[in-house]
Structures are given as structure tokens and as C-alpha cells.
């Protein structure tokens, strides 16, 4: 473990030297690449500096305890030694977490798809609630959201809604949201006051660049149509909406929320690239040995991951057994406690599975 940190420090120093080189500064692509690598290494270097500082404090304290000290001073040094040793153990755990290979998609923007499942109009209404939850969460994080496609219902929900979230680390925070979200409540359409159970499917896809996915134009069928809103009302008098069919896979994506056909086409292509990337990633993950895979789950759309129980005011994430009695706050976008718990669980599983992080 320490060899990896030493290598990180050496590389960090090397990059610092290169960043002051006029020829590197003049090459903007190289300069940006080095700045990103520099930023990636900074946390490792800082944490290793903390480790060495506290290690030195422990060494100094042990040397002092060998000397003849009065009782009061001896006890003070002994207490400081114990505190430093406890701090060092925490730092070592943090160092091991930093060495866990990062998901290359973590810093990417995301495309989120929410679809009503079992439950008809009630599922569509809850799809609208989840859409608001994620957009409110994005607001809290200072991220930008943009609607890409939607199929609203007349009573205020969505049969399906597709939108993008742009912001640093968006995928790292939202990737665990993919799966089936279940709601238990009395629907507004229920006259008898009975609690119904409905489901909504969420898919979170990393937004990928053209270089990440190669798409043959001959494999695409592109159709234009007139965008429409709830109840079939036309929201655009021109054929600006776009439907793209990827013939080899049968994937179909639409985008109708932009006013121009050109913008809708660009957004639809972005969705298609992300979907094709997801298929390729899933195939790759299936090749990885089962015991090395994270058990938290980040993509199975058929997995029931969370229940929102309105009568009890609780939200339960079934993957980690976490129950919080703050449903109103969560649906208002306060989901960091759930996200943090999922990230911590994934880190613990990866540490348990990988001997590479041991010292």
C-alpha cells in the first residue's frame, strides 16, 4: 500500500514540475490532462502526508516515554500517544479506501429515465414525485437539470420522463438509484381510502462522449414527428420531435422537449450513446467473477431497491437495510444520508473483496 502512495507522491511532484514548463502550458490539451491527473493525485498525497505526520508524532511520543519524566507529564504523553495511535488507524482505513479503483464514470454527468410501472395513474404520479426529488437534489448540489423527453399524464404525473443532470460527480452520487422504487400510499384516485402499492423504474446512465461509443450512421433510422403533451395536445406546430431507432439492438429513443429539430436530434443521440454504453458495460461486468462484484447493485432495473411508505412516513432501502422516518424531507431531495450509506457499503465490500488494498 505504501509503495503506491510513494509512487503517487513522486508522480505528483513530477506533474508539478511539468505544469511550470512553458511548452506544456502552450499545449492546452496536455495542460488540461496533467491538471486533471494532478487533481486526482492530490487527495492521495494529502492523506499520505497526514499519515507520515501522525506516524512521526507516535515515534516522538514513544521516545519521550523512554526518558525519566514526572508522573503528570508521563501520563500526558501517554494520552497523546494513545490518541495519535487511534488517529493513525483511521487514516490507514481512509488510505485503503483511496486506493480502491475508482469507477471511470463517477465524474460524468447523467441521464435519468423514470417510468411508471405497476399501478397505472398512481405509478405515473409517483414518477412525477421522484422526478421532483431528483431535480430538488440537483438544486441542493448546485447541478443543472435539463428535460430531454416526457410523456405527462392529465392529472400531473409522468408515464415516462427523461432528463439530464450536469454537475461534478453526478454519476458517483446517483448511480445507486437505478432499480425499482415502490410506493405504498392511498392514491388520490382511491375513494375507499385503501393503501395501494405501485412501482416506478429508475435508470441512471452516465452521459458519454462520441469517442466512448462508436455508432454507425447506417445503423440508425431517424424519424421526425410533431411533439405533443398530455391528452394529445400539440405543444409544437412543426415536426421538431425526433425518434431514433438503433437497428442492430432495436433501441428506440425520442426527444421532443427542445424547440428545434437539431437540438432534439443531438439530445436523442446523447441518450442513445448512454444506452449503448450501458449495454457494453453490463456485458463487461458479467464477465467479472461474481465474488469480485459489488453487492450493492448499480444497474439492475428489475431489482426492487427502495420502498416509500407514506402512512408510516418511512423510506427503506432494501439493499442495505436502512430505514429513515423522514419521507417528506427525502422526497424534497434530501437523499444524502441514503447515498452516503450506499457508498460506504460499497467501499466496505470492495475492501473485503480486495487484498490489493492491504498493507
CATH of the domain at 243: 3.30.70.1660
Single out the residue in 98, 127, 160 at which a domain terminates: 98
Q: Give the total number of structural domains in the chain.
A: 2
Single out the residue in 75, 98, 121 at which a domain terminates: 98
Q: Are 133 and 80 in the same domain?
A: no
38: domain CATH number is 1.20.58
Q: Are 175 and 81 in the same domain?
A: no
Q: Are 126 and 264 in the same domain?
A: yes
Q: Are 114 and 26 in the same domain?
A: no
Q: What is the pLDDT of residues 219-241, one digit of tens each?
A: 889 888 876 654 444 444 456 78
Single out the residue in 57, 78, 98 at which a domain terminates: 98
* 68 inside domain: yes
Q: What is the pLDDT of residue 140?
A: 96
Q: What is the pLDDT of residue 110?
A: 94
Q: Are 144 and 191 in the same domain?
A: yes
* 192 inside domain: yes
* 104 inside domain: no
Strands 304-309 and 179-185: parallel
Report the pLDDT averaged over residues 260-276.
Answer: 87
Q: What is the pLDDT of residues 326-338, one digit of tens each?
A: 999 999 999 999 9
Q: Are 184 and 37 in the same domain?
A: no
Q: Are 230 and 124 in the same domain?
A: yes
Q: What is the pLDDT of residues 23-60, one digit of tens each?
A: 999 998 899 889 988 988 998 999 999 999 999 999 99
Query: Is residue 291 scored above 80 in pLDDT?
Result: no
pTM score, two decimals?
0.71
* 333 inside domain: yes
Q: Are 32 and 114 in the same domain?
A: no
Confidence of residue 354 (pLDDT cuts 50, 70, 90): low
* 223 inside domain: yes
Q: Are 149 and 232 in the same domain?
A: yes
* 357 inside domain: no
* 358 inside domain: no
Q: Are 279 and 144 in the same domain?
A: yes
* 354 inside domain: no
Residue 276 domain boundaries: 110-347
Q: Are 169 and 225 in the same domain?
A: yes
Q: Are 161 and 298 in the same domain?
A: yes
Q: What is the pLDDT of residue 230?
A: 47
Amino acid at each position: 500500500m505504501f509503495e503506491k502512495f510513494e509512487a503517487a507522491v513522486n508522480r505528483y511532484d513530477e506533474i508539478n514540475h511539468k505544469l511550470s514548463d512553458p511548452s506544456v502550458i502552450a499545449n492546452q490539451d496536455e495542460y488540461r490532462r496533467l491538471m486533471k491527473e494532478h487533481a486526482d493525485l492530490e487527495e492521495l498525497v494529502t492523506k499520505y502526508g497526514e499519515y507520515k505526520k501522525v506516524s512521526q508524532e507516535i515515534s516522538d511520543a514513544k521516545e519521550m516515554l523512554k526518558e525519566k519524566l514526572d508522573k503528570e507529564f508521563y501520563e500526558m504523553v501517554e494520552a497523546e500517544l494513545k490518541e495519535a495511535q487511534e488517529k493513525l488507524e483511521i487514516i490507514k482505513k481512509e488510505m485503503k479506501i483511496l486506493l480502491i479503483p475508482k469507477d471511470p464514470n463517477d465524474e460524468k454527468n447523467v441521464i435519468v429515465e423514470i417510468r411508471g410501472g405497476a399501478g397505472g395513474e398512481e405509478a405515473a404520479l409517483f414518477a412525477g414525485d421522484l422526478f421532483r426529488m431528483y431535480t430538488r437534489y440537483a438544486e441542493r448540489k448546485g447541478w443543472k437539470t435539463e428535460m430531454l423527453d416526457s410523456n405527462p399524464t392529465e392529472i400531473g404525473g409522468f408515464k415516462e420522463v427523461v432528463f439530464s443532470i450536469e454537475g461534478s460527480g453526478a454519476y458517483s452520487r446517483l448511480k445507486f438509484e437505478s432499480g425499482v422504487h415502490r410506493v405504498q400510499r392511498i392514491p388520490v384516485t382511491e375513494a375507499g381510502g385503501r393503501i395501494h402499492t405501485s412501482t416506478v423504474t429508475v435508470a441512471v446512465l452516465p452521459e458519454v462522449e462520441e469517442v466512448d461509443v462508436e455508432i454507425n450512421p447506417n445503423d440508425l433510422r431517424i424519424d421526425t414527428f410533431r411533439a405533443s403533451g398530455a391528452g394529445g395536445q400539440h405543444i409544437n406546430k412543426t415536426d421538431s420531435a425526433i425518434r431514433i431507432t438503433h437497428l442492430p439492438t432495436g433501441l428506440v429513443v425520442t426527444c421532443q422537449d427542445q424547440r428545434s429539430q437539431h437540438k432534439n436530434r443531438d439530445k436523442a443521440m446523447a441518450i442513445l450513446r448512454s444506452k449503448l454504453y450501458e449495454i457494453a458495460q453490463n456485458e463487461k461486468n458479467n464477465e467479472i467473477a461474481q465474488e469480485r462484484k459489488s453487492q450493492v447493485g448499480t444497474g439492475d432495473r428489475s431489482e426492487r431497491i427502495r420502498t416509500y411508505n407514506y402512512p408510516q412516513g418511512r423510506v427503506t432501502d432494501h439493499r442495505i437495510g436502512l430505514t429513515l422516518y423522514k419521507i417528506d424531507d427525502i422526497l424534497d431531495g434530501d437523499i444524502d444520508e441514503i447515498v452516503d450509506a450506499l457508498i460506504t457499503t460499497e467501499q466496505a465490500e470492495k475492501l473485503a473483496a480486495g487484498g490489493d488494498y492491504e498493507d
